[in-house]
Structure 1
Amino acid sequence: MQAKDTGRNAPSLPCAPAVAAHDRSHGASAPAPTWNLSDLYTGQNDAAIDQDLLTTAEAAEAFRAQFAGRISSLDSPELASAIEAYQRIEESLGKLLSYAQLCYSAETTDAGTGQFYQRITERVTDISSKLLFFTLEINRLEDAAVQTHLANASLARWGSWIRDLRVFRPHQLSDELEAFLHEKDVTDRAWVRLFDETIASMRIPLGTEQVTVTHALNNLSDRSRPVREAAAHALEGAFSERLRLFSLITNTLAKDKHIIDVWRHYPTPGSYRNRSNMVEDDVVAALVSAVTADYPRLSHRYYALKARWLGLPKLQHWDRNAPLPEDDDREIGWDDARRCVLTAYARFSPELATIGERFFERQWIDATLRDGKSSGAFSHPTVPSVHPYILMNYHGRTRDVMTLAHELGHGVHQVLAAEQGYLLSQTPLTLAETASVFGEMLTFRSLLDNETDPRRRRIMLAGKVEDMLNTVVRQIAFYQFETLVHQERRGGELLPERINEIWMTIQRDSLGPAFDLSPAYGVFWAYIPHFIHSPFYVYAYAFGDCLVNALYDVFRSGERGFQQKYLEMLRAGGTKRHRELLAPFGLDASDPAFWRRGLDVIAGFIDELENVA
């Protein structure tokens, strides 16, 4: 899962400092790994790729010839058999596309890899267009016919998949239009590719060096204020130079989305994402309302404390992720990061740690720093017949350890959910963030509970609060920014200056009076990948963080059998919705008190910090 842009400033961890690079037999820390994708294909020229494309294309043609126009006449066992055949073809396509996406993420600026990615994307789209009729015809079945099917034992396994599919029934278009939009998606994705390649190829002037965007953003967490300020100004200049391009990409994609939303009759710009997440519009609205109302109690209050700790009358945006003065954020070797995370996982559940260990032992992680690699981090589930892969950029900082804990949570979740098969393993984004944020919490709590030095505990608490604010407040602010941009775009193209104004208004509201935000900060919306890759994705992080806070509160209260219930929740994949998954823990996301319970955890940490201060 693509990682959120938090500018994570997590607490320093009591891990051993990195050892100087020597042979591992002499106690050196291992370098960050590069993944081995051979479990998918051995390389971009692997003959199995073209063979799989040919075989899958033939299977799709045969499937269409057998079932197109006949879904309404199938009996329940025949429909179940058709769904199983459909799943096999979709998984083959998923394997091909996953490999191309992973190759491209690892080498975004390589022309040959870009061409390979585009070729596979186009071929997969062509093949999958032959399958499009299947879900459309299922959705045209009358409710009574569907209920009859679901009462049959042969279709019991597929009940949740059919249920979720029919959420989109009111928004379904004619077969011809659906096919047109499906094939047109290839060209729409070219705008996303343009954004990715632009960010990856940018070089930011810092002193005598030309560094990547990832490197410059990393400097915003540096101990030295002049280093942070220099990075901020360099980024401001670089984004300003390309602002018309980023604005054009944003305007084009927002307009394209609006056209489709109008045709599909989605009431708000975020409605499609909510349907995809299997969460009601009013539940998302309640989350956004709760977080927004708590800005003064959370971010405003904390950043006022931070300004005092830093001895500054006002904070600038480059101070947001500054380490505390006494925070000695030592470099942490890869081996130590691995140990910290797996130890925390094992204390909660040995099974969780055992699955996590596979990612390290079997080269399922790419954490090395190199030019052309995608910024940020994600865990890609690929397909159940293979396994997930994690991409991150490991700088040896504390926040990188927390990113590892986060992405490993995704990976473990994806391994467990894979038991459901390709169609049923795919978890809605709101629930997909549960295991990742829980993994971070396990790592943090394990370290905090073992720390006896009051000074270190304060540093750790402050870092965790900042991480939570970045996950909850910042992501809801991103969601509000997206909402306003998409709403205004319906009235015409937005000038870059107007997008900057919307960004600044939202940032001032969310960060509070402790900041004196310069107008130059207005361009910092331009590099956020989620706005381009997955519009309205970002609230899922806040959803997941508040959900995990409430879940962890249940765990700490001594809930019997919590670990087993938790693992069962992860194994469920996409077969259950949030109400069913949270019910065993006595939680309900539709209850406003649920969100308050999650936000109270953050507020409680700030209370403790105020008392110490």
Structure 2
Amino acid sequence: MQQFSQVWDLETIFPGGSESDRFQSFLGELEADLASFQKDLNEKTQPKTEDELFGVVHVIVRAQEISKRVRESGAFVSCLTAQNTKDEEAKLLTGRVKQLSSSYSSVMTSIDELLLGLSDDLWKRLLELDELSPLTYNLEERRRLANDKLSGDKEKLIQSLSVDGYHAWGDVYNTIVGRMTIEVEEDGEVKSLSVGQAANKMSSKDRETRQAMAGKWEKAWGDEAELFANTLNHLGGFRLQTYKARGWDNVLKEPMDINRMDQKTLDVMWKTIEDNKPTFTRYLKRKAELLGVEKLDWSDVSAPLTSEVEEVSYDDAATMIVQQFETFSPKMAAFSKKAFEERWVEAESRSGKRPGGFCTSFPVKEQSRIFMTYDGSASNVATLAHELGHAYHQHVMNDLPQMAQRYAMNVAETASTFAEMIVADATVKQATSEKAKVQLLDDKLNRAVAFFMNIHSRFLFETRFYEERKKGLVSVHRLNELMLEAQKEAYCDELGSYSPHFWASKLHFHITGVPFYNFPYTFGYLFSMGIYAKAAEEGTAFEESYIDLLRDTGRMQVEDLAKKHLDVDLTESEFWQKAIDLVAKDVETFIDLTEK
């Protein structure tokens, strides 16, 4: 009998799904409150005395309360559209919520204007008030970033136009993906798979199955490539025009600001990775030998080494994850057990779901929901642990002011990758045979290659795409060329085949909320290595230190966060090299074991 349900519970958030009357009321009240708040801000005069600063405090408190509700509504519609890509009501709700988000952004722009208008003396006094002292970093950040943008009325116009312009192209992408199916023949019967189900087939134990699916996969995305080229070109064009209006020449300025990091940190990280790629090409070459091929194909990179790999049931995966978390953090283990028991996870393999996985948080309910399609593979177990790491990160921040909870993607990926690493490392150590150990090491190294090579190819592609997009629209043919060039460079031309339509099949290129949705994964992976090394030394004694680090992720630059909690300098290669050295040990072990 199945212990844990693989279907999440959204009824405790808003009963009735996309037909929920309670959610309609929630949205109606939120729309009215946002309109009222914007009206009050429009009528508000710029504070000139200390006594008038208390009005600013009230505005900031009110903004945080509304922020919670905006996030709640966004999380709910993202769950609805993910669980059923054909839910038309959910799509309509998504449009309404995006309009709400735009209205909220306009409110925050008005608040930014209010903060910018304060004299230096009043600004200093404002930050000294007890009510706002926990938000010093966040308020200073808002004021600094607002100073880099256009005037408030122009920023509000951009936000308004983005709903039916910029973000609409992301919606078009999701609509196309939602209707796509890939046909396969199983047991003499033709079945239509969603792209999420089809993606899992490319991790098949059987190479012929993988290769057949890889061919169907490329064709499916190629058939829709003209439409995907439109979505990518137009959302990219909107973004570039916005940057141009603000006077931003560097397309990485916004990603750096969003991730609260210095570009020197990013450059040093990639340079250190590039210097160490020969270690990981050795692994790719050895894996090719073990699979009996001259070079790995794109679909072989994450493939299992043997057809004898056992599938892990969902219940067993959940139990194992909780047990492994317990060895490091009893609090994280208890939290994860609660998530499974209270049905916070949507893992069922069925048609109609969107591909990929995510974790989203409901700040009003102080709960999270995890989405994925589970098929029993080792990579699925890793994904489950990964998303639970995200959920735990939010959990330990729930009592902080809303503005201090908004951590960047790079440190978000730190918590998730750390959780994934705990499970992966433990399973390797507990392997009952060398054959099992080799397979588990291969799973670990697959992820390292993904972060060092696959993610690097995405970063290279996106950087070059934006440079070409500045000159005009980029054709399907050229997008394929750019993708292949980036993949060959990132993988040191070590593969026998690549995925030219990866720019179309990878959702992250078409997400409008976060530009350059790639390098933060690699940052998080290596940063979590540093944390893991410290945790391995201290055991459960590190639990409280880890929680303290997570709680600071929404109120510090990453360089300061690393210095405070790990005493390392992220702008120097030493930290990154030490983290990569930990992974390199796995390569050596893998090669030693497979050569016996």
* TM-score bin (small chain): over 0.9
CA distances 1:452-487 after superposition (whole Å, capped 9, x unpaired):
522322221122011121123211221111101111
Q: Do the aligned partners of 2:488 and 2:494 also contact (CA within 8 Å) in 1?
A: no
Q: In the superposition, relative to structure 1, how do residues 556 and 244 fare at CA in structure 2: closer, same or farther (>3 Å)?
A: same
Cα RMSD for the two superposed structures: 2.1
Are positions 1:324 and 2:305 aligned together? yes
- Per the alignment, residue 110 of structure 2 pairs with 133
Q: Higher relative contact order by CA 8 Å / sep ≥ 6: 1 or 2? A: 1
4+ residue segments displaced more than 6 Å: none
Corresponding residue number in structure 2 for 1:224: 206
**1:171 is matched by which residue type in structure 2?**
D
1:286 aligns with 2:261: no
Residue 500 of structure 2 aligns to a residue whose secondary structure is: helix
1:201/1:81 Cα in 2 relative to 1: closer, same or farther (>3 Å)?
same
How far apart are residue 229 of structure 1 and its match? 0.9
- Residue 152 (structure 1) aligns with: 129
Separation (CA, whole Å) in 2 of partners of 1:238 and 1:45: 33
CA 1:315–1:43 in 2, change beyond 3 Å: closer, same or farther?
closer
- SS of corresponding position for 1:417: coil
The letter for the 1-side match of 2:158 is: L
The answer to whether the 8 Å contact 1:545/1:598 transfers is no
Preserved contact between residue 80 and residue 87 of structure 2 (Cα < 8 Å)? no
2-side partners of 1:228 and 1:43: how far apart? Answer: 36
Structure 1 residue 41: deviation in Å? 4.8
Identity of aligned residues (%): 22
2:278 match: 296
Q: Conserved in 2, the CA contact under 8 Å of 1:331 and 1:397? A: yes
Do structure 1's residue 430 and structure 2's residue 410 form an aligned pair?
Answer: yes
Describe the shift of the 1:225–1:55 C-alpha distance in structure 2 as closer, same or farther (beyond 3 A): closer
Inter-partner Cα distance in structure 1 for 2:452 and 2:413: 12
Q: Which moved more, 1:288-297 or 1:237-246?
A: 288-297
Q: Are the aligned partners of 1:29 and 1:333 in contact in 2 as well (CA < 8 Å)?
A: no
Question: How far apart are 1:57 and its partner, in Å?
Answer: 3.5
Partner residue of 2:522 out of 532, 535, 542: 542
1:33 and 2:33 correspond: no
Indicate the residue corresponding to 1:586 in structure 2: 567
| Pick aligned residue for 2:33 from 53, 59, 73 | 59
CA positional deviation for 1:498 = 0.9
After superposition, the Cα gap between the structure-2 partners of 1:603 and 1:529, relative to the gap in structure 1 and judged at 3 Å, is: same
Q: Distance in 2 between matches of 1:339 and 1:440?
A: 14
Provide Cα deviations, 1:304-344, integer angstroms capped at 9, x if missing partner.
1111111112222222122113x632222111010011111
Compared CA separation, residues 124 and 166, structure 1 to 2 (3 A): closer
Residue 547 of structure 1 deviates from its aligned partner by: 0.5
Change (3 A) 1:39 1:356: same
Correspondence for 1:163: 140
Paired residue type of 2:70: L
Matched ranges for 1:165-314 at <5 A: 165-187=142-164, 188-207=166-185, 208-298=190-280, 300-314=281-295
Pick closer, same or farther for the CA change 1:570–1:37 going to 2, 3 Å.
farther
Cα offset, 1:566, TM superposition? 0.4
Task: Report how far residue 242 of structure 1 moved.
Answer: 1.2
Tell me the TM-score normalized by structure 2.
0.93
Give, in whole Å, the separation in 2 of the partners of 1:581 and 1:313: 45
Letter in 1 for 2:457: A
Partner of 1:72: 47
Q: Distance in 2 between matches of 1:218 and 1:56?
A: 39
Tell me the distance in 1 between the aligned counterparts of 2:344 and 2:46: 40
* Residues in 2 aligned to 1:196 and 1:66: alpha-carbon distance in whole angstroms: 36
The yes-or-no answer on 1:554 pairing with 2:534 is: yes
Residue 263 of structure 1 and its aligned partner are, at CA, apart by 1.4
CA separation in 2, counterparts of 1:286 and 1:441? 23
Counterpart selection for 2:449 from 469, 483, 493 = 469
- Tell me how far 1:562 sits from its aligned partner: 2.0
SS in 2 for 1:32: coil
Q: Once the two structures are superposed, what CA deviation does each residue of 1:12-32 show, in whole Å capped at 9, x if it has no partner?
A: xxxxxxxxxxxx2xxx56552
- Do 1:57 and 1:127's aligned partners in 2 also have CA atoms closer than 8 Å? no
Is the contact between residue 34 and residue 103 of structure 2 (CA under 8 Å) also seen in structure 1? Answer: no
**TM-score, with normalisation over the residues of structure 1?**
0.90
Q: What secondary structure, in the 3-state scheme, does the structure 1 residue paired with 2:471 have?
A: coil
**Deviation of the 1:36 alpha carbon:** 2.5
- Structure 2: where are the runs of 5+ without partners? none
Judge which range, 134-143 or 303-312, deviates more.
Answer: 134-143
Q: Deviations over 1:177-235 (max 9, x none)?
A: 11111111211212111111211211113233322212222121111111111101111
The DSSP-based 3-state class of the residue aligned with 2:350 is coil
The question of whether the paired residues in 1 share the 8 Å contact of 2:413 and 2:520 is answered with yes
Contact preservation (8 Å) 1:420, 1:573: no
Distance 2:113 2:230 in 1: 33
Distance, in Å, in 1 between the alignment partners of 2:405 and 2:104 is 22
Displacement, 1:40? 4.0
> For 1:496, which of 455, 476, 482 is the aligned residue?
476
Asked if 1 retains the 8 angstrom alpha-carbon contact of 2:86 and 2:352, the reply is yes
Among 341, 352, 368, the alignment partner of 1:361 is 341
Separation in 2 of the partners of 1:167 and 1:593? 30
Shift of 1:119: 2.7
Contact 1:416–1:571 (8 Å) recurs in 2: yes
1:67 shift after superposition = 3.9
Amino acid at match of 2:241: I
- 2:394 counterpart of 1:394: no
8 Å Cα contact 1:204-1:238 kept in structure 2 = yes
- 1:513 & 1:125 partners in 2: Cα distance? 43
Question: Is the deviation greater in 65-74 or in 358-367?
Answer: 65-74
Aligned residues: 583
